[in-house]
């Protein structure tokens, strides 16, 4: 029988089989160190306490520790606890974690809001009100579909701000958009829908999530009018209708109507619908076909990705399948965050924050556009948190441009990785929101220097 044990002051799990004896115990501890479960430099259980918990002689544990110290896995010192060796002194056979890539000095990566603008005081106030008003029962296991307070609040907010046809019974709250697309993919599979189309180009991560739920993933071309609906031949499709990611175009009115009438289930990813800068607000596609379009929204762009809050507004025929898939997923966002968001929206502070952010991002986009050299061609409507820059057909490649940016510690992305088909045209996807306000001018200047370098 495989055991885990709790020693005095320290909980440890080794997966040791007693029948393997001292050699097996040593191997189990080596594995714990190699896999990072016993972290470099941390204290290990005393020989006395571990022997007591394992039901073995203390001398057995003492000899195992001595052997591992001789091998370089443990470090002992007179009068001090035994510790795991530091990472630099571990035996070379022990795999080390790959170092995390450092954040760029100049951050123009797309899909990220300005985290320094997170409304801390408003969030603290909303959280305090939620804690004072919410009964203890709300913190149990009952809110599998999402806190009722947030679902009620979202129904009103989405109708007002995005034109969504919604009622609380058709809304579920998910643990971020990745969770939402996994739940929808699984629910559609349960109804016999085994193929989902995605815009080409689009984020590979979400295509992989759908495929992991058993969906066959296919691509549909995107042009200057958005998704080419005439090329759609799948029973379900994922679209970024208001502001296509990453090309930045919007789905044209005639194609919105065509898609709404196509008969396919449509997952509308309205990831940055609040950020339209030219005052020509485009409402949600969902309003055209509430019984075929699944509306997905998120707080990741308006507030912060770390909140892990997203929501779905469902056609009635998908309510029960999505509820079942949600229960099977075993994942749900923190109730307190849901209650705080409900308070933030209800108080008007969320709208105020969105308006401030919209004004700031509009200004940044305009400044970036004004600074760009003539040889790059910006694409997309005035909206969102990013801009696509097309490079001259006979000029430097995307790889050359990215290399010039990396030399300047400038973070952004290339378009090539988003294509589902090989040899798609390149470009630079520039996010103008992630950089703190005080650093935006420096980030923009660094980008312009990199662009001039590759054409000189």
Could you tell me if residue 259 is inside a domain? yes
Q: Over the stretch 384-394, which tens digit does the pLDDT of each residue have?
A: 999 999 998 88
- Looking at the structure, do residues 391 and 286 belong to the same domain, yes or no? no
Could you tell me if residue 331 is inside a domain? yes
Which CATH number does the domain housing residue 70 bear?
1.10.10.10
Mark 392-419 as b/e (b = at least 16 C-beta within 10 Å). Answer: eeeebebebbbebbeebebbbbbbbebb
- pLDDT of 208 > 90? The answer is yes
- Looking at the structure, do residues 187 and 304 belong to the same domain, yes or no? yes
- Looking at the structure, do residues 77 and 142 belong to the same domain, yes or no? no
Could you tell me if residue 94 is inside a domain? no
Which domain range does residue 409 map to? 106-111+357-455
- Looking at the structure, do residues 319 and 383 belong to the same domain, yes or no? no
Check residue 417 and report its DSSP letter: G
Q: Which of 350, 379, 400 is the last residue of a domain?
A: 350
- Looking at the structure, do residues 418 and 307 belong to the same domain, yes or no? no
What's the number of domains the chain is made of?
A: 3
The DSSP result for 163-219, as a single string, is: -----GGGEEEESSHHHHHHHHHHHHHHTT--EEEEEES--HHHHHHHHHTTPEEEE
Could you tell me if residue 55 is inside a domain? yes
- Looking at the structure, do residues 150 and 227 belong to the same domain, yes or no? yes
- Looking at the structure, do residues 67 and 123 belong to the same domain, yes or no? no
User: Contact, 413 vs 399, CB < 8 A?
Assistant: no
Q: Which of 308, 327, 350 is the last residue of a domain?
A: 350
- Looking at the structure, do residues 320 and 199 belong to the same domain, yes or no? yes
Could you tell me if residue 98 is inside a domain? no
What's the pLDDT score for residue 6?
43
- Looking at the structure, do residues 169 and 317 belong to the same domain, yes or no? yes
Strand order in the sheet with 413-414: 377-379, 386-390, 428-431, 413-414
- Looking at the structure, do residues 49 and 141 belong to the same domain, yes or no? no
Could you tell me if residue 438 is inside a domain? yes
Q: Over the stretch 77-113, which tens digit does the pLDDT of each residue have?
A: 777 788 888 766 676 554 455 555 677 899 999 999 9
Could you tell me if residue 101 is inside a domain? no
Work out the angle at residue 329's Cα, subtended by the Cα atoms of residues 326 and 331, and round it to the nearest 5 degrees: 90
What's the pLDDT score for residue 33?
86
Q: Over the stretch 273-313, which tens digit does the pLDDT of each residue have?
A: 999 998 777 889 999 999 999 999 999 999 999 999 999 99
Q: Which of 317, 350, 383 is the last residue of a domain?
A: 350
- Looking at the structure, do residues 181 and 312 belong to the same domain, yes or no? yes
User: Contact, 15 vs 35, CB < 8 A?
Assistant: no
- Of 78 and 175, the one with more pLDDT: 175
Which CATH number does the domain housing residue 387 bear?
3.90.1150.10
Those residues whose C-beta lies under 8 Å from the C-beta of residue 352, and which sit 6 or more positions away, are 122
Which CATH number does the domain housing residue 301 bear?
3.40.640.10
pTM: 0.80
Closest alpha carbon to 340 in 116, 117, 132, 113: 132
Mean pLDDT of 395-422: 93
Could you tell me if residue 100 is inside a domain? no
- Looking at the structure, do residues 85 and 140 belong to the same domain, yes or no? no
Ranges assigned E (strand) in 321-440 = 377-379, 386-390, 410-411, 413-414, 428-431
For residue 83, say if its preceding peptide bond is cis, omega within 30 degrees of 0.
no
- pLDDT of 35 > 90? The answer is no
């Amino acid at each position: 029988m495989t055991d885990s044990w709790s020693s005095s002051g320290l909980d440890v799990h080794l997966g040791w089989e007693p029948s393997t004896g001292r050699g097996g115990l040593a191997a189990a501890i080596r594995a714990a160190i190699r896999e990072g479960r016993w972290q470099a430099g941390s204290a290990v259980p005393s020989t006395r306490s571990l022997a007591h918990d394992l039901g073995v002689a203390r001398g057995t544990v003492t000899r195992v520790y001595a052997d591992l110290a001789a091998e370089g896995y443990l470090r002992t010192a007179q009068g001090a606890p035994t510790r795991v060796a530091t990472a630099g002194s571990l035996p070379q056979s022990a795999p080390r974690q790959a170092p995390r890539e450092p954040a760029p000095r100049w951050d123009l990566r797309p899909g990220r809001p300005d985290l320094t603008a997170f409304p801390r005081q408003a969030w603290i106030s909303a959280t305090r009100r939620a804690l004072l008003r919410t009964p203890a029962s709300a913190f149990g296991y009952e809110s599998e579909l999402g806190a009722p307070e947030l679902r009620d609040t979202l129904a009103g907010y989405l109708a007002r701000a995005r034109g969504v046809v919604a009622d609380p019974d058709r809304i579920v709250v998910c643990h971020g958009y990745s969770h939402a697309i996994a739940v929808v993919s699984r629910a559609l599979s349960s109804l016999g829908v085994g193929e989902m189309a995605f815009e080409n180009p689009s984020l590979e991560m979400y295509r992989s999530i759908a495929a992991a739920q058993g969906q066959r993933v296919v691509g549909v071309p995107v042009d200057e009018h958005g998704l080419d609906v005439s090329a759609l031949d799948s029973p379900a499709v994922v679209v970024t209708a208001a502001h296509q990611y990453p090309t930045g175009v919007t789905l044209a009115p005639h194609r919105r109507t065509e898609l709404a009438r196509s008969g396919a289930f449509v997952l509308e990813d309205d990831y940055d619908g609040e950020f339209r800068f030219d005052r020509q607000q485009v409402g949600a596609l969902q309003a055209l076909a509430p019984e075929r379009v699944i509306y997905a929204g998120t707080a990741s762009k308006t507030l912060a990705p770390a909140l892990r809050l997203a929501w779905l507004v469902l056609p009635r025929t998908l309510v029960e399948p999505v509820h079942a898939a949600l229960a099977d997923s075993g994942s749900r966002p923190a109730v307190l965050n849901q209650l705080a968001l409900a308070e933030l929206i209800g108080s008007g502070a969320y709208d105020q924050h969105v308006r401030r952010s919209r004004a700031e991002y509009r200004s940044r986009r305009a400044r970036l556009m004004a600074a760009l050299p003539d040889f790059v061609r910006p694409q997309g409507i005035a909206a969102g948190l990013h801009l696509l820059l097309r490079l001259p057909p006979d000029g430097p490649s995307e790889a050359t441009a990215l290399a010039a940016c990396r030399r300047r510690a400038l973070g952004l992305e290339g378009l090539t990785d988003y294509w589902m088909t090989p040899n798609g045209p390149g470009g630079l996807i520039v996010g103008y929101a992630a950089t703190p306000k005080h650093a935006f001018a420096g980030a923009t200047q660094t980008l312009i220097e990199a662009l001039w370098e590759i054409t000189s």
